[in-house]
Amino acid sequence: MATNDVLAVHGGTPLQGRIRVRGAKNLVSKAMVAALLGDAPSRLFDVPRIRDVEVVRGLLELHGVRVSDGGEDGELVFDPANVERASTDEINVHAGSSRIPILFCGPLLHRLGHAFIPDLGGCHIGPRPIDFHLQALREFGAVVEKTPEGLHLTAPNGLRGTKFELPYPSVGATEQVLLTAVMAEGVTELRNAAVEPEIVDLICILQKMGAIITVHTDRVIEIQGVPRLSGYTHRPIPDRIEAASWAAAALATRGDVEVLGAEQGDMMTFLNVFRSVGGAYEITDPRAPRAGHPGQEGGIRFWHPGGELKATALETDVHPGFMTDWQQPLVVALTQARGLSIVHETVYEQRLGYTEALNKMGATIQVYRDCLGGTPCRFGRRNFNHSAVIAGPSKLHAADLVIPDLRAGFSHLIAALAAEGTSRVYGVDLINRGYEDFEAKLAALGAHVERP
């Protein structure tokens, strides 16, 4: 961590104002990988300036893809005319920085017959194995060799469509199958697929490129391989995790924040919980114009309507359930709710470690190994602290905090903003991995923060 990687946060001021979210971190980076599959340039709008985008851009450029800025702010153009092998040393510069490199497997195997994948990064919220990815790739005909420097993959007999059932609806493994199956020979049937909005948007992109993908009921996706794909032009779905994070910040600080660009459809489950704990929101998107504001850019306005927040019980789950990435920011707001809130984290086994820092600030959160929810999950009886009981309301006070990962980091930041006094938050640069210009946005919302 750099010595200046610290933010002094003077808490106690409600966040108020407007900020804007752009393309979703969890779609944009995959859309960039999809551009590798085309035989013509692709154009992507609303690309946020975040670390994951830089990493994927770097990897694409190493593989010969020309990446340039388009005419609009946030527009990137990818020209895959000269895709080529990159050296393992150069690729390894990006080792440990993101999870996206694993999705280069299928596209690179199609384009080059070989792929080298460095060690993955991403948030430390559980072991995060890639066994489903590798199993699926082997089913397609890939040969995977694990070496100390990373993964080498080849496809000596090409890639062929297959029938594959995921043991759990993994987002990344579903994307792996999609990005591989679209140009594999024959038909692929994927069962127990993830159907997150970011996946549906990736399917839209692939369809624009010429892919034939059918989403059946019951998490079944069928892909008919095609011999060539063209480029795409696409404006991605907005970042629903960032939008929910600002919503949680508004609630925890008793503030009022309009998130321009946020969309109701992909946030319905979050909105229901937000309202049931006592938060207020208004859909201000252009499809719901307000009198006197015709045609203005809209989104969702979130605010604390006064009075006390109410405790709730929630379980994180795959879509359409309550997203795991919403959990950490929302829990900070739950420390301000009267009564006992219960959170059962069913997607990652180790996503509650950040609650220790909240307790240090005055919160009362107890974590449990048991499944404290209606649905027993994969982690029950496996010794993982994956349920939490939050007793509130608690008065939060300032503390020195070290950011462990992206969403936990944002939750630390919200807690510092809601707390009385000045906190020092170390390792804040990690937040740039998924929150564009977060310091400028904090300033726009009236937060008192500074780099000491």
Ligand X SMILES: CC(=O)N[C@H]1[C@@H](OP(=O)(O)OP(=O)(O)OC[C@H]2O[C@@H](n3ccc(=O)[nH]c3=O)[C@H](O)[C@@H]2O)O[C@H](CO)[C@@H](O)[C@@H]1O
Select from 72-80, 84-92, 165-173, 420-428 the region that touches ligand X (CB under 6 A): 165-173
Q: 105, 123, 371, 377: which is the annotated catalytic residue?
A: 123
9 has binding-site annotation: no
| In the complex, minimum distance from the CB of residue 406 to ligand PEP, in angstroms, rounded to a whole number | 5
When asked if residue 267 is in the footprint of ligand X (CB under 6 A), the reply is no
94 binds ligand PEP per the rule CB under 6 A: no
Q: Do residues 9 and 37 make contact, with C-beta atoms less than 8 angstroms apart?
A: no
Spatial distance between the Cα atoms of 261 and 18, rounded to a whole number of angstroms: 11
Q: Is 407 in the site for ligand PEP (CB under 6 A)?
A: yes
CA atoms within 13 A on the CB side of 320: 8
294 binds ligand X (CB under 6 A): no
Does residue 99 have a known ligand-binding role? yes
Shortest reach from residue 358's CB to ligand PEP, in Å: 17
Q: If binding is defined by CB under 6 A, does position 321 make contact with ligand X?
A: no
Which residue type does 381 have? R
Secondary structure class of 322 (helix, strand, coil): strand
Task: Tell which positions 87-126 bind ligand X, by CB under 6 A.
Answer: 99, 126
Binder of residue 393, out of ligand PEP, ligand X, none (CB less than 5 to 8 A by kind) = none
Structure tokens at 255: 């503030």
Structure tokens at 429: 């640069």
Is residue 213 a contact partner of residue 223, using CB atoms and an 8 Å limit? yes
Q: At what angle do helices 25-34 and 197-209 cross, to 10 degrees?
A: 20
Which of 27, 241 has the CB closer to ligand PEP?
241
Q: Does 22 bind ligand PEP (CB under 6 A)?
A: no
Question: What is d(CA 429, CA 444) in angstroms, rounded to the nearest whole number?
Answer: 19
- Whether 123 is a known active-site residue: answer yes
Instruction: Figure out which of the listed residues 155, 178, 260, 406 binds ligand PEP, where binding follows CB under 6 A.
Output: 406
Omega cis (within 30) before 320:
yes
Distance from C-alpha of 181 to C-alpha of 365, rounded to nearest angstrom: 44
As a whole number of angstroms, the distance between CA 166 and CA 220 comes to 10
Site for ligand X in 175-194 (CB under 6 A): 194
Residue with the closest Cβ to ligand PEP?
122
- Residue 224, H or E segment: strand 221-224
When asked if residue 161 is in the footprint of ligand PEP (CB under 6 A), the reply is no
Minimal distance, residue 86 CB to ligand X, in Å: 21
The number of beta carbons lying within 10 Å of the beta carbon of residue 273 is 19
CB nearer to ligand X: give 80 or 172: 172
**344 near ligand PEP, rule: CB under 6 A:** no
**Which residues make Cβ contacts (< 8 Å) with residue 336, sequence separation at least 6?**
251, 252, 309, 392, 393, 394, 418
Binding residues for ligand X, total number by CB under 6 A:
20
Which residues contact ligand PEP by CB under 6 A? Answer: 25, 99, 122-123, 241, 325, 406-407, 434
State the binding site for phosphoenolpyruvate.
Answer: 25-26
Residues catalogued as catalytic: 123
